[in-house]
Each structure stands twice: as structure tokens, then as C-alpha cells.
Chain A
Amino acid sequence: MAGKYESSEKKKRKKWLWILAVCLALIAAVALYYFYFYQGDSGTPTLIVETPQKLSASQSSDFTLDVTVSDLGDARYPAMSMSISFDSSRLEFLGVEDGNIFILSDENSTGQQLPDWSYNVGSSNDTGLINIMYLDMTGGRNAFTKNLLADDYNVVLRLKFRLRGSVRPGDVLDLIVEDAVFAASDESQSLAMTRDTLKVKNGRLVIGE
């Protein structure tokens, strides 16, 4: 009789263990589904030209587009460059405005400063390609580092544009990141679009009525 009772207890325990295992499997499946299908490439540094809300074709004032970065590696990045193509017959590039990402600095008490970007407005509008570069001439003392990233929305810089008179409602103007690099002094730690260590997301201007 005691043996029978023991056997029934065992069966019950086995049953509950099965239920527990199924529950765990279910949780794992839900978690996997969530991370694989809805989280994208989180964790991989990504340079994004943000797509703004629709613009009016009659908008004559200047506007800016944010270029953000989602993450950075552990290295220091003393140089950064990006090339972004745009339709210069419908869009006029006016320059670059500061973002909210700082570089290290030994020149002031805060220990940080905004990077000084190099670019050429005239040449960008002539060729339809904006080449922007930051080069730390101090050998790494004024470098990008993930420690100085903002909490959630890291704006590397802002591209300033104006619509040309040739823009029509319904036009879609793509801003395509042709190349982007965060260069580290140790090349193996550099983030480069061509090596897939830096993902990019293009921007898109949609012209409404």
C-alpha cells in the first residue's frame, strides 16, 4: 500500500515537473520571438539619418535632420567620417549644426567639448554628396567614447537643409549613407559600414501638400 502511495506521489511530481518544463519552454519561446522579430539589431552600433515628419512643398524655412548613433564600442574613436548622398536639384545643403554627443577634452573643466566638423557646403551641393569628417589632432585625447553618449537619443550632428523651388508634393528625397566610419587607433576596433561593424539607416524626406 505504501509503495502504491509512493508511486502515485512520484507520478504527480513528474506531472508537475512536466508542466514546469512546458512553462519554461513557453517563456523561452515568447522571449525569443520578442527579441528576434521585434528588437532588430540592437547592440550593433547604428548610424541613423532620422526621417522627419512630412514636410510641406511650400516650406521655405530651413530645417535640420538629426544624424544619430545608437551605440558605440568600448574603444576611443579619434576620427569619424560619413558620406551622405542627397538630391541636390531639390534640396540645398546649408551646413552642419551641433548634436548632443561630446568628445573628450582636456581644454576645459568639464572634460568634454563638441566636435568640430569639417565639410564643404559648395562642393556638397555641386556633387550631391556631403562628406563630413572629424579628426582629433591630439592623438586620442579628444576622441569619441561611449561614456559621453547621451542617455537615449544620441545626435552626432544635425544636417541643415532648405527645399528648392523644384520640390513638388509627393516627392520623396532619400538621404543615403554611402559610407561611415568611427575610426579607433586600433584598427580592429574601428566601426565601419563596409565591414558591417557599423550599421546604417538611411533618412527619407517625404513632401506632403
Chain B
Amino acid sequence: MKKIVSLFLALTIMLSLCACQGNFGGVNLNDSIAIPQDGVIKENIVKQIQSENAIGVFTGESNGIRYEWTIFGSDITVPKGINLAVNITETIGGDTKVTLGATEPFGFSALLSVYLNETWSAQSATGYTEEQAVVSASLTGSKSTILNMTMDGSVGSIVVRPDELPEEETTVPTTESEPTESTQPTTGNDDYLSKPESSDNQVYTNGKDKYNTDPVPPGKPKPVEPEDTEVNKSKSYTCTFSIECSTILNNLDMLDPDKLEMVPSGGVILKKTTVTFYEGESVFDVLQRICKEKGIHMEAEWTPIYNSAYVEGIHNLYEFDCGALSGWMYKVNGWYPNYGSSRYQLKDGDVVEWRYTCDLGNDVGGGYAVGG
């Protein structure tokens, strides 16, 4: 009896010691690990993440807000026990206060993701300690916002506040608002004339370039010649495209009766759609592709004098189908470029609208432009 009990006792002590040392089979790093109540993750687990070059995900909840720590084994230099407890409160002003349980820095970076119960409209956020920015947060999530912050050495409380959108982006019109820029400039004393981008963009004495383009208003993108552009398919971006002809609905008396059946009831041929494009592609390149993909008829002709394609018809609605001053125009970020769509190089997030005009652009807010 004595022997059995002694054996049992020895076994128990060994097991307990193993468990205390954390060598009890280690943890399963493929699953998320719940953060213990005291928040402390023992050194052996941090060591395991490091030695397996694994990715440890630790989950917790505070005041109904879920949070997750992601720790990459490759980031751990000196493994040690860490406190991952976090207290999260949403303040009245809409900020989020994150109080870390750790009293000293981890010694390596760890990613803290906070699953907010609301959606922030900002694109990024910043964490402040006494009004001093200490950490930047990227935001993701469509239904609700996830704050992702890489914690390098922060301890104590951090107030996370959404960043304000840059001025340029807040003024980008997404609907039919008028362009914010003034109409066609009359003098040639602007950036474009004084600093031509390449020898091809020679400036002529009448203020126009060699492709009969008037000076581009300051702050607006200058034309890029298609022959100078190389499309880089390894870099892709997104922009939005829409095509509509609602102006025809106000001018049905001028419309060629044979074309009436081509006009959609609401005037929308393609609703605002996010499309992928590659670095170096022009508005025309993407129009051509999206029309092909969506099965929308489109006809264009290359116009050497403007070094651009000229869009004659979309959805079987052609220029002059609704009066002598009718045709297609394009608008990017609220501005009707005064050059052809083959020369407009797209940028990430551009909002492109193709619109049918019945009055040389005056009925769509682009009376000064010629691009189409």
C-alpha cells in the first residue's frame, strides 16, 4: 500500500511540476487561446510561439467588446511572460479607451485587434496618451469596425480616435454635384504651361498642347500620352465606374424615336460599380473592359488629332441621337477633363462617371470640357 501511494505521490508531484512549468504538451497554437482572467500568458507559451515560429492568437472580452492579440513568433526576441488583459470602454465622444493590463512593455511587438460594436466611417485612427499620438490604427470590417494596433512599447491607457478624412477626399462628389473647379481657364499661366512633363507635351503659342488640349486647371491631373504608358499588371487598384443617360429623359422630344427602347427607365446603364484596374491604365481602357465584361455595347474611334479614343456610342445611344449637341462625356472625381479618356490615367479610388449630354455638357455640369 505504502509503495503504491508513494508512486502515486511522486507521479502527482511530477505532473504538477510539469503543468506549472507549462510543459504539459504545450498549447495548441492552431486554435485561438482564451486569455485567462488575470491576463497573464506564461513565458513557456511565448517561448513555444517563438520556437515554433508560430502565430499565437489570444482572445478576450471587455465590457462586451471582443479583442484579440496576434503574436508572431518571428517578432519575439526575448520570450517572457506577458499580461494581455485589456479594459476597453467607449467614451461619449465616440472615442475608444483601451487600458492595457501590462505594466511594462512586452519587449516585442504584438498586434491588438479590437472588434468595436459600431462602424467608424474613417479610414484610419490614432491612439493617444495625453494628446500625444503613440500608435496608429488601421481600420477594417464592413459590418462593424475592427481597430488594429501594433503595440510596440505602450503601457497604460490609450484613447483611440478616428482620423479625419483628408480634405481632398471629403470633397470628392459621388453624385451629380457640380465640379468644384472653375470653368475652362483662359490664360496659359499655370503649372502645365510653365512645366511641361515631357518633350511630347510641347506647348504651343495659343496655350494648347500638340493635341489641342487647353491648359489643365491647377490641381487637376495632366494628360498622360498612351504611347508613353506601360501597364503594370502586378499592381492593381480599384476605382468606381457608372454610366448613365438620364438627361435624355428630359429631352425625349429630341430623341431619335428608334432609340427610345435603348433608354433605361431610370437612365442608368451601369450603376456605380467598383472595378479593378492596373497601374498605367486609362479611363478608356477600363471603360472598354467593363463594357465587355458587363455585355454593354460600346463603340469608339481613335482620333489622332486628340491622341485619344473618342467614345461615339454606349448602349447603342450615339452622339447626335438626342439633338445636335448630344454625346458622351466623362467625369472623374467631379471634374470633366478637357482631354480624351485615353489620356486620363486612373489613380486608386477614382470615381469615374460617364454621362450622356444633350447640350454640349451644359446639362451635366461640364459645359467647359471636351473629353469624351
Chain A interfacial positions (CB closer than 8 Å to B)? 13, 16, 19-20, 23, 26-27, 30, 33-34, 37-42, 46, 48, 51, 53-54, 60-61, 70, 85, 87-89, 92, 122, 125-129, 162, 164-166, 170-174, 176, 178, 201, 204, 206
B276→A92 contact, CB < 8 A = yes
**Interface: B1 (CB within 8 A):** yes
Q: In the complex, what residues of B have CB within 8 A of residue A176's CB?
A: 140-142, 146
Bound-state CA distance A149–B141 (Å) is 31
Give Cα A176–Cα B70 distance, bound, in whole angstroms.
15
Find out whether the CB atom of A126 lies under 8 angstroms from the CB atom of B24.
no
Q: How far is the CA of A48 from the CA of B113 in the complex (A)?
A: 17
Partner of A165, one of B31, B72, B143, B235: B235
B28→A30 contact, CB < 8 A: no
Determine, out of B4-12, B89-97, B215-223, B318-326, the stretch whose residues face the partner at the interface.
B4-12
**A173-B348 contact given A26-B12, A30-B19, A70-B31, CB 8 Å threshold:** no
> Is there a chain A Cβ closer than 8 Å to B180's Cβ?
no
Q: List 16 A-B contacts (CB under 8 A).
A: A13-B1, A16-B2, A16-B5, A26-B12, A27-B12, A33-B19, A38-B24, A41-B31, A122-B293, A170-B150, A172-B113, A174-B148, A176-B141, A176-B146, A178-B143, A201-B32
| Contact of A172 (CB < 8 Å), options: B8, B9, B140, B142 | B140
Give the B interface residue count (CB, 8 A).
49
Contacts of B251 in A (CB 8 A): none
The chain B residues found within 8 Å of chain A, CB to CB, are 1-2, 5, 8-9, 12, 15-16, 19, 24-25, 27-28, 30-34, 36, 53, 55, 57, 70, 72, 74, 111, 113, 136, 138, 140-143, 146, 148, 150, 234-238, 273-276, 279, 293, 348-349
- Label chain A's interface by main secondary structure: mixed
Known: A16-B5, A39-B28, A206-B72. A92 touches B236 (CB 8 A): yes
**Set of chain A residues within 8 Å of B19, measured between Cβ atoms:** 30, 33-34
CB neighbours (8 Å) of A206 from chain B are 70, 72, 111
Q: From B8, B28, B53, B143, give the contact of A40 (CB < 8 A).
A: B28
Which of B25, B72, B348 meets A166, CB within 8 Å? B348
Instruction: For the complex formed, measure the closest distance between the CB of A104 and the CB atoms of chain B, giving whole angstroms.
Output: 26
Cβ of A170 and Cβ of B138 under 8 Å apart? yes
A38-B27, A42-B28, A89-B349 known; A204 and B34 CB under 8 Å? no
- Contacts A48-B30, A172-B148 given; indicate if A60 touches B2 (C-beta within 8 A): no
Docked complex Cα distance between A204 and B36 (Å): 23
Taking CB atoms, residues of chain A closer than 8 Å to B348 are 89, 164-166
Are B140 and A30 within 8 A (Cβ)?
no
Q: Give min CB distance, B71 to chain A, whole Å.
A: 11
| Residue in contact with A54 in the complex, picked from B72, B138, B236, B275, CB distance below 8 Å | B72
Q: Nearest Cβ in chain A — how far from B137, in angstroms?
A: 9
Contact A174/B27 with A87-B140, A165-B237 known, Cβ cut-off 8 Å: no
Q: Is the CB of B31 within 8 A of A37?
A: no
Known: A27-B12, A125-B276. A174 touches B31 (CB 8 A): no
A residues near B15, Cβ cutoff 8 Å: 26-27, 30
Contact, CB under 8 Å: A46 / B5:
no
A-B contact sample (4 more), CB < 8 A, given A16-B5, A126-B274, A176-B140? A30-B19, A34-B25, A39-B31, A171-B138
